Amino acid sequence: MPTPHNNAKKGDIAKTVLMPGDPLRAKFIAENYLENPVCYNEVRGMLGYTGIYKGVPVSVQGSGMGMPSIGIYSWELFNEYGVENIIRVGTAGAVADNVQLRDVVIGMSASTNSAYASQYRLPGTYAPTASWNLISAAVKAAQAKGKAFHVGNILSSDTFYDDADSLANWQKMGVLAIEMEAAALYMNAARAGKNALCILTVSDCPLKGLSTTAEERQTTFRDMMEIALEAAYSVN
C-alpha cells in the first residue's frame, strides 16, 4: 500500500484530509484540534496524521509548495488511499482591493498560469473548480464564526517571484488572491471523481506592501483551520 511518497497503510488515512502546504502546520492542527492523533507519514518530512474531530476521523497532511508537489500528494491520496475529500488550508496574497490581511478566502475556482492541465489533452481551456458540497459547508462554518470571508476566483501561480509583475492584470479580472496549489488539487479531484476545496488566509498584500511573519503563518491562522475542520465534519 505505501507509495514512494507516503508510508501509510490501508486504513491509516481518513476519507477527509486537510492539506496545508507546510507540514509543520499539519502537525499544529493535529496536536491542537484532533483527539488521539497518530502520525502515519514522515517520508520526506511531509508529516501526516489521523485523529478524531467531534467523533469523526479526520486526517491532516502537508502538501509542500507548488502544483507539482500537491499534484503528487493529492493524486496518491485520491487514487491509492481512497480519500474522498481534500481541503487545502493555506496562505495567500491578496489581489482584490477589498481583501484584507488575515481575511479568509474560499476558492470557488482557480485560474492558473500553469500547464498542469496539458496532461489531459483537452481541446480547450479547462476551468478548475471546487466541489459545491465543500464550498457550502465552508461558507456555513465561516458564517457561524462571524468571520470576514470572501468566495470567488483565486489564482494558482507557478511563480512566487513574478518577473512579469502581473498581479494588477489579474486584479482587473476579479481575482481575489494568489497562491500556488489549488488548481492542481481541483484538477486531480475532478479526474478522480472526488471532492476538493481551497480555504486560504491572507498572509500578505503584495500590492499594498503588507505581510505577516513566518510564525504567524504556521500557527495563528486558526479561523481557516476551524472552518475547514467544521466543513470536514459536516461532509462525513
180 known ligand binder: yes
Is 44 one of the annotated binding-site residues?
Answer: yes
Query: CA 51 to CA 67: how far, in whole Å?
Result: 27
- Known binder of ligand: residue 187? no
For residues 195 and 172, give the distance between their C-alpha atoms in angstroms, rounded to a whole number.
Answer: 29
25 is in an annotated binding site: yes
21 is in an annotated binding site: yes
- Stated as kind and residue range, the H or E segment containing 35 is strand 35-41
Of the candidates 22, 103, 204, 223, the residue annotated as catalytic is 204
Instruction: Render the burial of 134-169: b for 16+ CB within 10 Å, e for the rest.
Output: bbebbbebbeeeeeebbbebbbbbbeeeeeeeebee
- Residue 59's nearest CA partner among 89, 25, 18 is 18
Radius of gyration of the chain (CA): 16
Q: C-alpha grid cell for residue 141?
A: 462554518
Any known ligand binding at 93?
no
The answer to whether 151 is a known ligand-binding residue is no
103 in active site: no
Q: Is 90 annotated as a binding residue?
A: yes
Residue 179 annotated as binding? yes
Q: Which residues are catalytic?
A: 204
- Binding site membership: which residues? 5, 21, 25, 44, 88-91, 179-181, 203-204
Question: Which residue positions form the known binding site for a purine D-ribonucleoside?
Answer: 5, 179-181, 203-204
Binding site residue list for phosphate: 21, 25, 44, 88-91
